Amino acid sequence: MISPSEIQSVKLRFGIIGNSPLLNHAIQVAMQASPTDMTVLITGESGSGKESFSKIIHSLSSRKHGKFIAINCGAIPEGTIDSELFGHEKGSFTGAHESRKGYFEVTDGGSIFLDEIGEMPLGTQARLLRVLENGDFIKVGSSKVLKTDVRVIAATNVNLIKAVEKGKFREDLYYRLNTVPIYVPPLRERGEDIVLLFRKFTTDFSEKYRVKPITLDEEARQMLMKFPFPGNIRQLKNLAEQISLLEEEREVNALTLTRYLPTDNSRLPVAYAGGGKTDHNDFSEREILYKVLFDMKKDMNDLKQLVLESYQTGELNQNIMKKHQDLFEGMDSQVTFEKEAQPKSSVPLVLDSSHNKKEEENYEDPDIEDILHEEDDNSLSIEKKEKELIARALKKHHNKRKYAAMDLGISERTLYRKIKQYDISE
């Protein structure tokens, strides 16, 4: 039976901090499996420290003087992983200018740590199964069977049972790997270990940046332990570095800590099928962006409707403005909507037919007709108002015609003609 003092000794040797029962149990299983040659499967979320357990197993085994290689199966392209693991012969594929030994041949007599084993292609899984069962492997491009004596330690942050059900992982390989299972608990299940790790990280960073170490008050300690930390130890370390570097007040309270923690407690991308449930009510940045774009589209449709009605009636009257009053919010001058006075003259606005015909022949601008004629003296007041609006728009946008034209709902070319027509000084 492994004593608590032996477990503590291993923690000190490998820099493992924490006293949670789940962590101690995982270390105990690793120590018990170390003297054997049994295959070990380490499971746990990304960032929980699975690689440390592979080093414990190798260092306490009879293979400790042999080579130890850690391979991330998810980081090797599918087309080259067989060559990386088992080697290849010269000319076996394009770019194979010479023979190469694979990791299983190089680590003969030692241990190999296959991280992210769930990302391994099915063809490579069949080759690995043969190594585990017989110690046999064949280089890429060769027919010669080679022997190796390697202990395999595998790790994954995905649920391999579900991967087997979906046909993405071989069932026989899963049971061959899972001879000794070790579960590394996520940070949120380790209680007071979170505070111990935070204190260790802040002490290290205080020495690195030559500042006073950060301390937490009781309320901040409780908040830290309740946070789920989807990124586990990596996320906690990043948090400790941010606070150590940016915070001027070295005693951190709950209010200060809140500024460094995600306010919605949303889960960051963690490739772990057994992770927590996602809160569908949380608003992501992408959803907020979609909402803004939809609102902009609605405003643009309303503006098009306003322009169309103005074109059809020949004037921008109070009824149209009142109907679309939300478009006038935020303007420099306050727009008020009063009851529309009865017009003194019932003579409608008409377009000059000769001008209209000319525009149809040489039409380039999709905007509203810019020259309106009225058959009575009322046209003078319209021109006056139009001139005032153009002058105000130019003043508002510091004589920048592009933005003034956008504000008025006309093209920049039309605005230029209006400025010449009314002799408006810029």
13-25 confidence digits (pLDDT tens): 999 999 999 999 9
Q: Find tokens 């772990």 and name the residue.
A: 272
Q: Which is more confidently placed, 191 or 365?
A: 191
Of 80, 93, 69, residue with least CA distance to 121: 80
Domain at 4-185: CATH architecture: 3-Layer(aba) Sandwich (3.40)
Residue limits of CATH 3.40.50.300 in the chain? 4-185
Query: Are 107 and 68 in contact, with CB atoms under 8 Å apart?
Result: yes
CA distances from 39 to 50, 95, 272, 348, 408 (A): 15, 34, 22, 92, 75
Pick 188-280's CATH classification: 3.40.50.720, 1.10.8.60, 3.40.50.800, 3.40.50.300: 1.10.8.60
pLDDT class of 95 with cuts at 50, 70, 90: confident
DSSP string, 327-369: GGTT-SSPP---PPPPPS--PPPB--HHHHHHHHHT----S--
The answer on pLDDT for 383 being more than 80 is no
% of the chain with per-residue pLDDT over 70: 72
* CA–CA separation, 76 and 72 (whole Å): 7
pLDDT class of 125 with cuts at 50, 70, 90: very high
Tokens at 411, concatenated = 């093209």
Q: Which is more confidently placed, 251 or 300?
A: 251
pLDDT for 317: 58
pLDDT class of 339 with cuts at 50, 70, 90: very low
Residue limits of CATH 1.10.10 in the chain? 351-426
* CA–CA separation, 176 and 419 (whole Å): 84
pLDDT for 96: 80
pLDDT class of 419 with cuts at 50, 70, 90: confident
- pTM, two decimal places: 0.61
CA distances from 292 to 197, 279, 297, 343, 407 (A): 41, 22, 9, 40, 20
Query: Are 45 and 269 in contact, with CB atoms under 8 Å apart?
Result: no
Q: Which is more confidently placed, 382 or 86?
A: 86
Q: CB neighbours (10 Å) of residue 287? A: 10
Residue limits of CATH 1.10.8.60 in the chain? 188-280
The answer on pLDDT for 36 being more than 90 is yes
The answer on pLDDT for 425 being more than 70 is yes
Helix (H) or strand (E) holding 152: strand 151-156
**What would the CATH number be for the domain defined by 351-426?**
1.10.10
Query: Are 315 and 349 in contact, with CB atoms under 8 Å apart?
Result: yes
Query: Are 88 and 96 in contact, with CB atoms under 8 Å apart?
Result: yes
- Mean pLDDT taken over the chain: 80
Q: What is the mean pLDDT of residues 152-171?
A: 95
pLDDT class of 227 with cuts at 50, 70, 90: very high
pLDDT for 423: 81
